[in-house]
Chains A and B, each alone.
Chain A
Amino acid sequence: MARIYNRSPKLKGLFKSRLSKIRFRGSSLVLAVPYLWMILFFIIPFLIIFKISFSEMVDGQMPPYTPISSYEDGKLDIKLNFNNYKFVFAGDDLGLDDFDLETEENAQTADGAQASEKEEPGFFASLAKKLESNLYLLGYWQSLKVAFISTLCCLVIGYPLAWAIVHASPTMRSILLMLVILPSWTSFLIRVYAWMGLLSDTGFINQVLLFFHIIDEPLVMLHTQFAVYVGIVYAYLPFMIMPLYNAISRVDYSYIEASMDLGARPMTTFFRVLLPLTKNGVIAGSMLVFIPAIGEFVIPELLGGPDAVLIGQLLWQDFFNNRDWPLASTIAVIMLCLVIVPIMWFFKVQRASEVK
């Protein structure tokens, strides 16, 4: 690889500017090692799931899916099979034609929604009905909802905490920062497990509440959606606090003082001055919670109930239990489409904070 880089004049032009100072023989190798690794183990795997999502499942064969391309008589034949995508969007009971009709109707209603208020409930009702009848769409919807609400909760808990750490004395600040990071160095699984014991019917919280006669019979908390929210917020909170801490500690405090001196109330100062100044930290922290939460598997599996299955669990079930690899790949590709926008946003913010 190194040789190819050195010999090709085009590729040699890769290294300009500052490298002109630090050009050395192995420099192309320095680039090639991580580059090749990431192409081999990150980019190519994606192309493979993309490919497999277009094939069909075949039971009892290894690998359990049909090839999408065949080479016969010197002719390459590529067959793309969209059945998996249709299946995810249209579900079990809805036929394909049905689905097409319905989306058209929906599109019309969506367009006309503003014009005529009366049609709006119809649109939402049909959407809700469709969501209920379709396991996968419901899974995506639940995942987005859980991720969004958890991110919001992390923000509400994390922002005051980050602010409080920034405004501690220097020694305390360093101790507090360590205390916030420490849980994320211990096992993720253990932190989720801790809530299993706390939330169960005979668990710590119920025992305390029963002891003080606040409740008469144990609350059902484990294996509900509430438990999933608690688990995600708890597990991802440190990832929210760190970017927020960095953003808040960089704020020039004279802006805050100016705002207060000019008579703004604390709330106004917060929303009009501090929050806009720490926007990038808020976005970075939110993305660090939101994106992994969409595909979360462990937390809903341990804390969640059967009523709300998230998309990560559906992917897992289809892959490991049903051995339907093409369908699992399709779920992954659609999930990727969902997270790619937040990921790009995260990168933009990262780059912006680096320029500073």
Chain B
Amino acid sequence: MSSQSPHIRSKWRLLFLFVGLSFLYAPILILMAYSFNSSRLVTVWKSFSFDWYVALVHDEEFLHAIYLTLSIGFCAATMSVIIGTLAAFVLARFGRFRGQGIFSFSITAPMVMPEVITGLSLLLMFIATANGSHALAGWLTEKFGITEGSFLYPVLQQMDGFPDRGVFTIWIAMVTFTSAYVTVIVRARLKEADLSIEEAALDLGATPFKVFVFITLPSLTPAIVSGWLLAFTLTLDDIVISQFVAGPKSTTLPMLVFSSVRRGVNPKINALATIIVTIVSLCVTLAWYLMRRKEKRIQREMAQIKAK
């Protein structure tokens, strides 16, 4: 970045911005406006009302799906941050190692892989594992003559047909899918990081583990937080992969919305969309404001140092 891109004031620039941003925002805003329509026909305006919000709040199925989706999202994002950070650390700091090609491919490929492929392959693997564990449990029962009274019986019961398709398999699929994004974010941050502080700590006798926990990790915190948030929203958003690996009792929110939307437009979905968009916008704006403030503070401090 030797020469900063200048601020250009031209009609064209404003036109591009106007067209682009209205294309991005008009559909969402119109969707939100129609959520306050009292008519059952979403697109025909009747009068202003909150009916659909009330209906949404009283819909047990939706509430359960929201709860399920949020908890899967929370757990998946947490695990994906662990996997992603470790992977980023390996890629950025371990130099070359054997199998690096496969490693970096498999850690980043889920990002661009068509979702139907990821979903199908994971489901078929879960089913193969379930069949294998079923066979193994049967074999073990026969071999050791385990009866219902044995303390091993419940263990084998658990093993039989593991993993059950449901929340657990969705969690695995989501971690696999989202850790790629975390890796990219954290790795970019690791590349920018100043190695000299870590080296100084090592020279002063800190163990590598201590260096990682007290120096590397804190400097990575912003990247890890944004990685977590991205993994969380991606999980909340996923339909295709979840639909493949889900079981009968684990309908997540996107799956529920998808099956309802397939039957046509539904004002309840407009209400739900409005709530989601509002929450996300508030969070993103807040995050943006905080980051901006921090940036400005750093700039000010830098200027002060230079002035001295």
- Show the binding face of A for B, using Cβ within 8 Å: 11, 13-19, 21-27, 30-31, 33-35, 37-39, 41-46, 48-49, 52, 63, 157-158, 160-161, 163-169, 174-176, 178-183, 185-191, 193-198, 200, 202-204, 207, 234, 237-238, 248-254, 287-288, 291-292, 294-298, 301-302, 312, 315-316, 319, 325, 328-329, 332, 335-336, 339, 343, 346-347, 350, 354
Contact = CB atoms under 8 A, between A and B. Distances in A.
Interface in B86-100: 86-87, 89-90, 93-99
A203 B7 contact: no
B258 interface: yes
Contact of A194 (B30, B83, B124): B30
Given A37-B179, A46-B121, A174-B292, 19 more contacts: A11-B98, A14-B97, A22-B211, A41-B173, A43-B102, A44-B125, A48-B124, A48-B128, A52-B124, A179-B21, A189-B237, A189-B257, A189-B258, A190-B269, A190-B277, A194-B30, A197-B43, A253-B3, A294-B114
27 contacts: A22-B208, A34-B84, A37-B179, A41-B172, A49-B120, A49-B124, A63-B131, A161-B17, A163-B16, A167-B5, A176-B17, A179-B21, A180-B21, A182-B280, A183-B25, A187-B237, A189-B254, A197-B34, A197-B42, A197-B265, A202-B41, A250-B1, A251-B5, A252-B3, A298-B240, A312-B114, A332-B121
Contacts of B87: 34, 38
**Main SS of chain B's interface residues?**
helix
Contact of B43 (A18, A30, A164, A204): A204
A161 B261 contact: no
Contacts of A42: 106, 109-110, 176
Contacts of B136: none
B115 interface: yes
Interface stretch (B60-68, B139-147, B151-159, B281-289): B281-289
B239 interface: yes
A332 B117 contact: yes
Contact of A24 (B90, B208, B239, B264): B208
Contacts of A186: 28, 276-277, 280-281
Interface of B: 1-8, 12-14, 16-17, 19-21, 23-25, 27-28, 30-31, 34, 41-44, 82-84, 86-87, 89-90, 93-99, 102-103, 105-110, 112-118, 120-122, 124-125, 127-128, 131, 172-173, 175-176, 179, 191, 198-199, 202, 207-209, 211-212, 233, 236-237, 239-240, 254, 257-258, 261-262, 264-265, 269-270, 272-273, 276-277, 280-281, 284-285, 288, 292
Nearest to A192: B261
A15 B97 contact: yes
A203 B90 CA distance: 51
B98 to A, nearest CB: 6
Contacts of A191: 27-28
B64 to A, nearest CB: 18
B128 A34 contact: no
B117 A15 contact: no
Chain A contact residues, majority secondary structure: helix
Contacts of A250: 1
Contacts of A198: 27, 30
A22 B112 contact: no
Contact of B23 (A15, A33, A234, A294): A234
A37 B83 contact: yes
A335 B114 CA distance: 9
A204 B30 contact: yes
Contacts of B14: 164
Nearest to B240: A297
Contact of B24 (A23, A27, A183, A297): A183
Given A185-B280, A197-B265, A250-B1, A328 B120 contact: yes
A30 B209 CA distance: 11
Contacts of A38: 87, 103, 106-107, 176
A22 B5 contact: no
A131 B302 CA distance: 64
A185 B284 contact: yes
A17 B113 CA distance: 32
A27 B179 CA distance: 20
Contacts of B292: 174
B43 A203 contact: yes
A175 B4 CA distance: 18
A37 B113 contact: no
